[in-house]
Amino acid sequence: MARKNVTQRDIAEKCGLSVIAVSYALRGDRSNVSQATIDRVRREARRMGYDPSRSHAARRLRYQRTDTEIVNQLVALFFPFGEMHQPYWAYMFEGMQGVLAAQGFGALTCNVDVARGPFREQLPVLFRRGEVDGAIVFATEQYRDELITALREESGFRSRPIVTLMEPFEGCSSVLVDDVAVGNLQAGHLLDLGHRHLLAFRSERYNAPAVRDRIEGYSLAFRERGLDPEAGLHIWPWIWDRGIDLQEAAQQALQGHPAVTALLCPNDAMGIDLGRALSGLGYRVPRDYSMVGVDDTDVWLDRNGQNIWTTVRLPMRDIGSRAASLLLDRIAGGRPTYTSEIISPSLVVRQSTRPVRPRC
């Protein structure tokens, strides 16, 4: 058990140098110390078991004199409580944790809630101390603005890097999904199978820009194939919430569109629930309706344990790890450049879609 901490002074004594020379050497400051000394000091430091993390407090104290920010290896992850048990968030989180852990960073998970008062007062004390290096924010419209404002106003955080997920934000880097491509892949696949009347469910839980982009993607798929979206793209507003009678809602949607042979679902969870409801109504997927989702995070197993759910895959782990990388880059580099990274979706064809066959 290393009883006493090894300090720079110990190293200095051992090397016959001054403490400050050691300080320079350890930081590799070539303009104040020779390369030879640097090497010698570093070797000795390693040998003696010098651990910079032990003297973090001293370093912090010293640096606040010059208003220099110091890396604490701690970042905050903001997300709504409701997303916690969604598989897609679990995957994103996994992606982030992988990158963060590899660098020794810790993840401070934070939830804010309008019901609990002003956001600034809900932030852990660590923020005020300036011990949080950056943040990844996954929040829906309403929360996001207020949250980011709160962070910017917190003097311990101020202008530190923020990465937003799924939506851009002024002054932040972000990791986005190409929602036009998502819609295009979904609709294109169905059109290529010969389906000509598609029903899209516009989930209210989706924020405006993403929904707009998806629909644009649908239309684009029609036009790219010389078809008229006005004629074949049917949009049904849909509130997907616990407590809704899925079968009744599904029945209603389908009866209003007898020509429809395929369904565009905004995400897997909703789509699979809907598919199950259709089965309950006596319809068969894909015999009666082809269905395609988004995410590839949920499964619909057939009796052989095979996943039959055709979907547009969003690489959630990648999104998470890209966000973390972006954040760490900005923390390390200090460059105030706001990068946006756009993640491309990909189509995963399984058995919930098949070529159209004419209605009797």
Residue ranges in contact with DNA by CB under 7 A: 5, 7-9, 16-21, 23-24, 26-27, 30-35, 37, 52, 55, 58-59, 61-66, 68
> Token pair of 191, please?
């059109």
Q: How far is the CB of 167 from a second copy (least distance, A)?
A: 22
What's the CA gap between 114 and 46, in Å, rounded? 49
**Region near a second copy per CB under 8 A, out of 17-25, 89-97, 174-182, 264-272:** 89-97
128 binds a second copy (CB under 8 A): yes
Contact criterion met (CB below 8 Å) for 108 and 77: yes
CB 132 within 8 A of CB 74: yes
Between 318 and 341, CB nearer to a second copy: 318
User: Judged by CB under 8 A, which of 23, 86, 164, 174 binds a second copy?
Assistant: 86
Residue 242 in the binding site for a second copy (CB under 8 A): yes
Q: Which helix (H) or strand (E) holds 174?
A: strand 173-177
Residue 199's beta-bridge partner residues?
Answer: 234, 263
**Shortest Å, Cβ 165 to a second copy:** 16
Q: Which of DNA, a second copy, none has residue 105 at its interface (CB below 5 to 8 Å by kind)? A: a second copy
Of 78, 88, 87, 85, give the one whose Cα is nearest residue 113. 78
Tokens 């009666």 sit on residue: 288
116: contact with a second copy by CB under 8 A: yes
Q: With CB cut-offs between 5 and 8 Å by kind, which of a second copy, DNA, none does residue 332 bind?
A: none
Is residue 312 a contact partner of residue 347, using CB atoms and an 8 Å limit?
yes
177 CB-side CA count, 13 A = 26
Could you tell me the smallest distance in angstroms from the CB atom of residue 171 to a second copy?
18
Bridge-based pairing state of the strands 198-203 and 173-177: unpaired
Asked if 300 and 272 count as a contact pair (C-beta separation under 8 A), the reply is yes
Contact 269, 300 (CB under 8 A): no
Which of a second copy, DNA, none lies near 251, with the C-beta cut-off 5 to 8 A by kind?
Answer: none
182 CB-contact burial (10 Å; exposed 0-12 / middle 13-18 / buried 19+): buried
Query: Among a second copy, DNA, none, what binds residue 122 when CB lies within 5 to 8 Å by partner kind?
Result: a second copy
CB of 124 vs DNA, minimal distance in Å: 20
- Per partner kind, with CB cut-offs from 5 to 8 A, the member of DNA, a second copy, none near residue 8 is DNA
> Taking CB within 5 to 8 Å according to partner kind, which of a second copy, DNA, none is near residue 9?
DNA
User: Going by DSSP bridges, is the β-strand pair 233-238/173-177 parallel, antiparallel, or unpaired?
Assistant: unpaired
Choose the stretch contacting a second copy; rule: CB under 8 A; options: 87-95, 168-176, 203-211, 348-356: 87-95
- Could you tell me which stretch among 38-46, 105-113, 222-230, 284-292 binds a second copy (CB under 8 A)? 105-113
Q: Return the sign of the alpha-carbon dihedral for residues 139, 142, 143, 145.
A: positive
Residues 286-325 that bind a second copy (CB under 8 A): 299, 301, 303-305
Task: Output 49 or 256, the one with its CB closest to a second copy.
Answer: 49
Write the interaction track for a second copy spanning residues 141-160; mark x where CB under 8 A is met and - where it is not. Answer: --------------xx----
Contact 328, 99 (CB under 8 A): yes
Q: Nearest approach, Cβ of 247 to a second copy (angstroms)? A: 5
Distance CA 163, CA 176 (A): 10
Nearer to DNA, 16 or 226 (CB): 16
CA–CA separation, 37 and 124 (whole Å): 42
